[in-house]
Structure 1
Amino acid sequence: MTTAGPAPTPDQDKGGLRTALAGLTTRGRSFLAAGVAAAICAYVLGQSDLLRVGLLLAVLPLICATVLYRTRYRVAGSRRLSPARVPAGSEARVHLRMDNVSRMPTGLLMLQDRVPYVLGPRPRFVLDRVEAGGRREVSYRVRSDLRGRYPLGPLQLRLTDPFGMCELTRSFSTYDTLTVIPRVDALPPVRLSGEAKGYGDGRQRSLALAGDDDVIPRGYRHGDDLRRVHWRSTARYGELMVRREEQPERARCTVLLDTRAVGYLGTGPDSAFEWAVSGAASVLLHMLERGFSVRLLTDTGGSVPGEGAEGFAGSSQESADAAGLMMDTLAVIDHSDGIGFSPAYDMLRGGQEGLLVAFLGDLEEEQIAELGRMRRRGGRAVAFLLDSEVWGRETGDVPGPGASAGEDSLRGLHEAGWTALSVPRGASLADMWRQADRQRTGAVAGSGAEGRS
């Protein structure tokens, strides 16, 4: 980018000169004021020598401002984020590069990048003389405990004259965006879904196995096992045909995130809502890595932009892009004005959701009934309840432990068929994940013993 424009036209000179005079530093203004005062005193006292001194003091900052304003530095700037997507509480490094693309060296430059206050102080760098065709590279670190998207830029160059009489600022037009995503915890490989991988033992077969008449062949592809060649179809079509592989149905996992503002107490990085967002992100990435088709669903029925009807498929080349899309969505997700889960219920496919993992705030009887219908419409269901009474008890935001609304919610979820746990403040998601697996295993074993008796 060019930091100084073309030569100003007569109509632009006035505005440009006003800009230059406005850039006078304290030293420049002091020299100008002293020169004017000396000239007035020289006129009153009739001292010609003092008049010369006054004129010198007054003209020097004006000359510096004019020369600086007409300086034709051509400087290109660029910015690189490493990484561009960072978890909350982690640091990212911003690399700045300045290239002098003119044929003359620059003077002293001050480089400044504009960043939101939540990322830290505004970085400033002093660049000494940059030779023609030369470059300078600097970097700084940013960190935020809050999720979100934060603009970085535009870059600003502050030009100054050798005497420090005037400073002018030139701004670049481009900026970048740093995405701060939720914290992600590594989860242990438990069997909450009843399957060790993304393809379950109870999968449906896409082909009949009654005999050769039911075989659906396809054309031979490089790497196919020659033992699967279907000779009858090969003779019929005149090209090598193989038996089509059985296509198991991919296991699914839906993560339900309760974003209702009425369901959570408090704000900030240590609030219950942020724990729920972080938990949803951790479960989504964990199930995606295990080969599940994952889907993010909120109480408003919202999902991730670009998500297909079957969700995002794991163990594929697009899984990294899918993870990025989901993290970008969770980075900016906020509270909703909803009061129930009816929109989310309408988005379920009826018995094809597989594992349903929910992160819930405060619940009332109506919401518990809606979650019960969602459980009957899906498969196995696990709920992590972040009750305000439990989270606010340690901070004194609610009365003592006598209230039992959270226990009533857990009891209602258990009766509706959910594996439900109450999440205390500061709990580890990995520990809660194991506890949910133990609770589900115990419930299955108990029902099996009751059936045998």
Structure 2
Amino acid sequence: MSDGGSEGAPERDGLRAALAGLTTRGRSFLAAGVAAAVCSYLLGQADLLRVGLLLAALPLVCVLVLHRTRYRVAGSRTLAPARVPAATEARVRLRMENVSRLPTGVLMLQDRVPYVLGPRPRFVLDRVEAGGRREVSYRVRSDLRGRYPLGPLQLRLSDPFGMCELTRSFSASDTLTVVPRVEPLPAVRQVGEAAGYGDGRQHSPALAGEDDVIPRGYRHGDDLRRVHWRSTARYGELMVRREEQPQKARCTVLLDTREDAHPGSGPDSAFEWAVAGAASTAVHLLERGFSVRLLTDTGSSVPGPDGAGSFGGGTGSADAAGLLLDTLAVVERSEEPGLSAAYDVLRGGNEGLLIAFFGDLDEEQAVVAGRMRQRSGAAVAFVLDGDAWTRGPGGIRFSDGQVPVAERLQLLRKAGWTALPVMPGDSLPALWRAAAERTGAPETVAGGRS
């Protein structure tokens, strides 16, 4: 008895769901049938009772037939591509396959998408033969970066008279990642990038003096001019000086995410410009062979694939860039009061090249930012003027003609930064070239282009 009851409960629940799926037409027919039956009783008209029963029976029969319908269909979704820059379209392909031996009726296919990606797509599929398949597609687009779930896919079943509709969902879903837009930067050498062999790389010398030699054992084919005779006499075998070992140039991209430092919101806000600037800079440096670390004002570093806290360039730069862009796709504003946490991370060692994207800086935070320069080989700062971004291009300026960011830039420059203001409408490639010109560094050729 208990087993029968447990099996009957889902059946009753499914029937209730089917009754709840009555459309406006189905409810109207049911109400008209009940009204006709009541009127036939009051007026004593038997023919009216027959009409009422027919009107009421039709939607109920449709509910029962639709509830008993068992379609065996398989659905899949394909994103092309699964990672897109902001304001770029992605195509979503839906595939339905009838795996049963019976044809289906008319199916309404609907995919659940967030409102920011556009309207919810709906497709009507005609009768699908046994073993047949149908493919449809739609496009999604978002001006805001982030990760957006797609699905689950839903099938809406309807009877031929339109009396009842049932919705059945698949369980699988996918995620569309909208990353910041990456602008190609000009191939100019910023201050701190080493010239010569291995463009953009540093070299550790084989020796700094006779007492600092770290020799190794002689190998067949080594040049005898590299034999270190003092070590040979000490160890009793031929020892040679080590060759210069190239080291991968390092860079830290600092992104200021403080909420108070970036007024405004939306895809054209100062914060979104800073995020896109950090993404463009990091990808550019990865392509040039740098080992890049992304750091925020909270002091958190983005770990690389090796878990070492940096994304290595070279042959895996494309994968590293993808991981970094995925991280920047979901970065949000922080409630951090200042830049002290980031400074504590930077002062732990020499960070090589430092590229920073700052929001509004008060005097105290400008001093903290100035100290960061002491632990880096070179530093370039892009400082966004919050007042200009809030008022927009051509907005009101202070009466003395000075923008609020001017004195902060002066403090950074005195500390050794190459600091540039960022106004609404400014282009990062132009600012990147201007930063190189301020340092007096020559233009170089990278990847066959100047």
The TM-score by the shorter chain falls in which range? 0.7 to 0.9
Aligned to 2:120: 122
Residue number in structure 2 paired with 1:222: none
Deviation, structure 1 residue 208: 9.1
Question: Which stretch shifts more, 328-337 or 338-347?
Answer: 338-347
| 1:393 corresponds to | 391
Which amino acid in structure 2 is aligned with residue 252 of structure 1?
R
Letter in 2 for 1:417: G
Matched AA of 1:428:
S
User: What's 2:366 paired with?
Assistant: 368
Report the Cα distance in structure 2 between the residues aligned to 1:253 and 1:150, rounded to whole angstroms.
31
Displacement after TM superposition at 1:363 (Å) = 0.8
Residue 192 of structure 2 is aligned to residue 191 of structure 1:
no
Q: Does 1:438 align with 2:424?
A: no
Distance 1:207 1:57 in 2: 99
Partner of 2:279 in structure 1?
281
Q: Which runs of 5+ in 1 are unaligned?
A: 1-7, 219-225, 233-241, 444-453
Match 1:72 to one of 70, 73, 89: 70
**Alpha-carbon deviation of 1:13?**
3.0
Query: Residue 33 of structure 1 corresponds to which residue in structure 2?
Result: 31
How does 1:399-418 map onto structure 2 within 5 Å? Answer: 400=398, 402=400, 404-418=403-417
Alpha carbons of structure 1 residues 289 and 349: separation in structure 2 relative to 1, 3 Å: farther
Instruction: Give the SS at the match of 1:55.
Output: helix
Deviates more, 1:50-59 or 1:326-335: 50-59
1:419 maps to 2:418: yes
Contact 2:93 2:138 in 1 (8 A): yes
* Cα 1:313–1:349 shift into 2, 3 Å: farther
Count of aligned residue pairs for this structure pair: 417
Task: Give the TM-score normalised by structure 1.
Answer: 0.85
- Contact persistence 2:389–2:423 (CA under 8 A): yes
CA distance in 2, matches of 1:134, 1:368: 66
Contact 1:106-1:130 at 8 Å conserved across structures: yes
Report the counterpart of residue 60 of structure 2 in structure 1. 62
Are 1:113 and 2:111 an aligned pair? yes
Counterpart Cα distance in 2 of 1:268 and 1:191: 33
1:207–1:215 CA contact under 8 A, matched in 2: no
Is it true that 1:43 corresponds to 2:38 in the alignment? no
Residues in 2 aligned to 1:144 and 1:279: alpha-carbon distance in whole angstroms: 19
Shift of 1:338: 1.2
Does structure 1 residue 137 correspond to structure 2 residue 135? yes
Q: Say if 1:19 and 1:352 are closer, same or farther in 2 by CA, change over 3 A.
A: same
How far residue 401 of structure 1 moved from its aligned partner, in angstroms, is 5.5
List alignment gaps of at least 5 residues for structure 2.
1-5, 228-239, 443-450
Q: Which amino acid aligns with 2:291?
A: S
CA RMSD in angstroms comes to 2.8
Q: Are residues 350 and 37 of structure 1, via their aligned partners in 2, closer, same or farther at CA, if it must alter by over 3 Å?
A: closer
In the alignment, the residues of structure 2 paired with residue 217 and residue 123 of structure 1 have an alpha-carbon distance, to the nearest angstrom, of: 71
What are the residue-to-residue correspondences of 1:204-353 with 2, within 5 Å? 204-205=204-205, 214-216=215-217, 246-306=244-304, 308-309=307-308, 311-317=310-316, 319-348=317-346, 350=348, 352-353=350-351
Q: Are residue 179 (structure 1) and residue 177 (structure 2) matched?
A: yes
Q: Contact conserved, 1:109 with 1:158, CA < 8 A, in 2?
A: yes
Distance 1:10 1:442, change over 3 A: closer
Residue 51 of structure 1, CA deviation: 2.1
Bigger mean CA offset, 424-433 vs 38-47: 38-47
Matching residue's letter, 1:320: A
1:244 positional shift: 8.2
Q: How far apart, in 1, do the equivalents of 2:21 and 2:395 lie?
A: 52
* Larger CA deviation: 189-198 vs 280-289: 189-198
- In structure 2, the partner of 1:236 is none
